Amino acid sequence: MKEKKIVLFLLSALAFFICFPFSPYSFCSNAEKYNTIISKAAVKYGLPSDLIHSIIKTESNYNPRAVSSKGAAGLMQLMPSTAKQYGVTNVFDPEDNIFGGTRYLKDLTSLYQRNLDLVLAAYNAGQEAVKKYQGIPPYEETIEYIEKVKSSYGKNSIIGKTKIYKYYDENGRIVITNNIFLYLQHRKK
């Protein structure tokens, strides 16, 4: 009886250590641990935080040390070339990985005009595969990936927050735009 209690205590202690939020060895599916970083990245790149959460859940199940058989690494499973392209210096650092992955996701969102299926297909199989097949590649893994992310995300489209800018043109008329460059060019200093 004592031995059973000792074993249970040791298992509980081990589970606590592994799942402790501040442990560098934590591999728990703990979305809350990354909420702040995900929220900041979502705001910065104008994407829904729910979509970022769904991708992380599907890609790595919130394991910052995850490495795929193809070499993708970290929470958002960035390939080395993608990580390098988006300035990610440490794929195992959650903040670095999430910001790089979200920036990549934003670029795909713009490239595929917010078409969720194509964005997810490109994120999973690569842009070249989407280009080659002129749509979703017929890969079982990619088709399952799209369905899994969409199921977790709960939406069929990508709706981000659009920031609106207001300025007065040279004739004194109010101009309302979502183009920050136009706004910065014409705003009064």
The string of pLDDT tens digits covering residues 41-66 is 998 999 999 999 999 999 999 999 99
Distance CA 150, CA 169 (A): 43
Residue with tokens 């059973």: 4
Which listed residue (3, 59, 140, 144) is catalytic? 59
Beta bridge partners of 163: none
Q: Identify the pLDDT of residue 1.
A: 58
Q: Are 180 and 69 in contact, with CB atoms under 8 Å apart?
A: no
Q: Identify the pLDDT of residue 78.
A: 98
What is the domain partition of the chain in residue ranges?
Answer: 28-153, 162-189
- What is the DSSP annotation of the chain? -HHHHHHHHHHHHHHHHHH-TT-TT-----GGGGHHHHHHHHHHHT--HHHHHHHHHHHHTT-TT-B-TTS-BTTTTB-HHHHHHTT-S-TTSHHHHHHHHHHHHHHHHHHTTT-HHHHHHHHHH-HHHHHHTTSS---HHHHHHHHHHHHHH--SS---PPP-EEEE-TTS-EEEES-HHHHHHHS--
Statement: 28-153 belongs to CATH 1.10.530.10: yes
Q: Rounded to an integer, what is the distance from CA 88 to the centroid of its chain?
A: 13
For 125, residues 6+ apart whose C-beta sits below 8 A from its C-beta are: 137, 139, 141, 142
Q: Identify the pLDDT of residue 189.
A: 54
Distance CA 43, CA 176 (A): 21
Distance CA 118, CA 155 (A): 14
Q: In tens digits, what is the pLDDT along the chain, a chain of 189 residues?
A: 556 555 445 544 444 444 444 444 444 447 889 999 999 999 899 999 999 999 999 999 999 999 999 999 999 999 999 999 999 999 999 999 999 999 999 999 999 999 999 999 999 999 999 999 999 999 999 999 999 999 999 998 887 666 788 889 889 999 998 777 788 888 775
Provide the mean pLDDT of the chain: 86
Establish whether 170 is a catalytic residue: no
The pTM assigned to this predicted structure is 0.71
